[in-house]
Amino acid sequence: MKILHLSDLHFRQTYDPSSDGYKNMLTKMKNPMDPLIKCLIEVNRREKIDTIVISGDLTDDGQASDYAYLKKHLEAVIGDKKMIVTLGNHDIKSQFRLGWLGEVASENSFNTIDEFEELAIISFDNSVFKNPNGHISDEQLNWLEQTLIAIGDKPVMVMTHHHLLNEQNTIPAVPQADKMIDLLSKYHVLAILTGHTHHSFTGEIKGIPYYTASSMSFCGTDEGNGIVRFEACYGYNIYTIKKGKIVRQVSDNFFPRKFLSLVDMKNSRTGL
């Protein structure tokens, strides 16, 4: 089984002119749909992908029309492959349900469980719209534990948006990361998948393989004092599963070396 991991698409059909530093930066980048489709075509040419997972920030400002457009165009490229998503701090749950799922609007947490022959994949919602750090409630942790218990001995991949390790980036991890790590360490977790930082990272948490995928839009470098240097970048991870174990992991990252903008994030109206 092969899984393609994408993250942080920050998609909009149009990026409107803005005086805000972050929003202005978006107008200078190539629309993420271009590298996204390019990467999907290239991966499909090289690999037999079975499932695609996307770890949040599907859109930049959570409009139902953008979710509908994005899903339609992704499905046109990937066909009938399974697509599993989680939500990020740029996603609005009610608008996602309207545009992506075609359901009634709701702000309830979006959690899913998909079981395959070799493993199960849990999409776990730790997002809060416009809260760049995310949040994990006790209710959510209880849901996660009960789900892990119900799955039993089958290996599990857990995907969530906000990263769990402070040391991997200057962007802070979700505040309740330690609680989530302690919980996951008690069960048969094959890997933890995250996004949010826009930078690829491979590590280990209490013996559990831990992967953060690059963005499909832009990356930022902390210059100090709240100033972030934004550049174009995009990438993805591929995981190969055999007999319930990860036997291969590949990160493919692309850096066009296109400078986008220096942004004072302390005074920008939109956080990452």
What local confidence, expressed as pLDDT, does residue 266 receive? Answer: 84
Contact in structure between 215 and 251 (CB atoms under 8 Å): no
Q: What is the pLDDT of residue 271?
A: 65
Rounded Cα gap, residues 49 and 259, in angstroms? 32
pTM higher than 0.75, yes or no?
A: yes
Rounded distance, CA 141 to CA 270, Å?
28
Query: Which residues, 6+ apart, have CB-to-CB distance to 99 below 8 Å?
Result: 63, 64, 65, 66, 67, 68, 71
Provide the token pair at 165. 């390790």
Identify the three-state secondary structure at position 196: coil
Strand order across the 259-264 sheet: 218-224, 227-232, 259-264
User: For each of the chain's 272 residues, which pLDDT tens digit applies?
Assistant: 999 999 999 999 999 999 999 999 999 999 999 999 999 999 999 999 999 999 999 999 999 999 999 999 999 999 999 999 999 999 999 999 999 999 999 999 999 999 999 999 999 999 999 999 999 999 999 999 999 999 999 999 999 999 999 999 999 999 999 999 999 999 999 999 999 999 999 999 999 999 999 999 999 999 999 999 999 999 999 999 999 999 999 999 999 999 999 999 988 876 67
Which position has the token pair 């200078």? 28
- Give the number of other CB atoms < 10 A from CB of residue 86: 29
Q: Tokens 């079975």: give the residue.
A: 50
Rounded CA gap, 170 and 222, in Å?
Answer: 7
Phi first, then psi, for residue 221 (nearest 5°) are -120, 125
- Region of 134 please: left (phi>0), alpha (psi -120 to 50) or beta: left
Closest CA to 213 of 239, 231, 189: 239
In whole angstroms, give the CA distance from residue 57 to residue 55: 7
Compute CA distances 99 → 71, 93, 128, 175, 254, whole Å. Answer: 9, 10, 18, 30, 30
Predicted confidence at residue 35, as pLDDT, reads 96
CB count within 10 Å of CB 266 equals: 11
Q: Distance (Å, rounded) from C-alpha 218 to C-alpha 233?
A: 5
Specify the pLDDT at position 267.
81
146: Cα within 13 Å, side-chain hemisphere = 8
